[in-house]
Amino acid sequence: MNSAQEELGTPIKAGSAADPIYRDLKSKIMKGTLEGGLPLRQDEIAAAHGVSKIPVREALRRLEIEGLVEFRPQRGAIVRKLSAEDVLQFIDIRLALECRALELAIPNMIERDLERARSLLDEYAAETAIERWSDFNLQFHRLLYEPCGNKHLLAMISDLEQRIGPYMRLQVTEASGLDRPMREHHEMLEACAREDIERAVSTLRKHIQTTQKEVAAYLRRRGA
């Protein structure tokens, strides 16, 4: 297996179809292992996974629907690359959706929800692997929004996470550090426990706006 094949995937068992390929490629795109603009050659992916090109094509089409891959004339499939403007505009949308989700969630929160969030923050604070911080950050926000009772709102937030996930992962690990996000997470959680919707939403809004500024600065440094 050459280096391109190694990057695109590992062989999977015979009989598998598009699902494992879809999950593997999606995971690598979300983690930033497959960067925006990278060609996704069907023959290489098929060879890497030990399958024909048919399930590869199906997996790529599913990723296209989710906005993670695009097909270009004469070039085939590539990992979709967002412009800096795209990323910052998506964060604007995130601001509106997540603040509304938290506003709806707080009246429905029970002690078990709060305990799960506290426990996750303890794990987050103890994590020494910087590359894991983004995962903990994402999980914490999901826990806060889950009780909102609006599955469509949660689906829209999840879609945004997929679209800007690689950019947010880099920002969390390389720009934010741990102290500021952790402090704001605890402030949000304490406000949720007091059922202080205004304070919790205000803290979340500031949290996301600060993140947006850090992402903008990070993308400028990268020349995006």
| pLDDT tens per residue across span 117-156 | 999 999 999 988 777 888 899 999 999 999 999 999 999 9
CA distance 150 to 132: 28
pLDDT bucket at 107, cuts 50 / 70 / 90: very high
Residue 63 pLDDT class (50, 70, 90 cuts): very high
pLDDT band at 10 (very low <50, low <70, confident <90, very high): very low
Query: What's the predicted TM-score (pTM) here?
Result: 0.77
Q: Which pLDDT does position 218 carry in this prediction? A: 78
Average pLDDT (195-207) is 98
Structural domains for the chain: 3-79 (1.10.10.10), 84-222 (1.20.120.530)
- Residue 40: is its pLDDT beyond 50? yes
- What value does the mean pLDDT take over residues 185-207? 98
- Using pLDDT thresholds of 50, 70 and 90, give the confidence band for residue 96: very high
The confidence score (pLDDT) of residue 81 equals 85
pLDDT band with cut points at 50, 70 and 90 for residue 7: low
Question: Higher-confidence residue: 134 or 203?
Answer: 203
Q: What is the pLDDT of residue 172?
A: 59
Q: What is the pLDDT of residue 175?
A: 58
> Tokens representing 206?
């500031």
The answer, yes or no, to whether residue 115 has pLDDT greater than 70, is yes
The pLDDT confidence band at residue 108, using thresholds 50, 70 and 90, is: very high
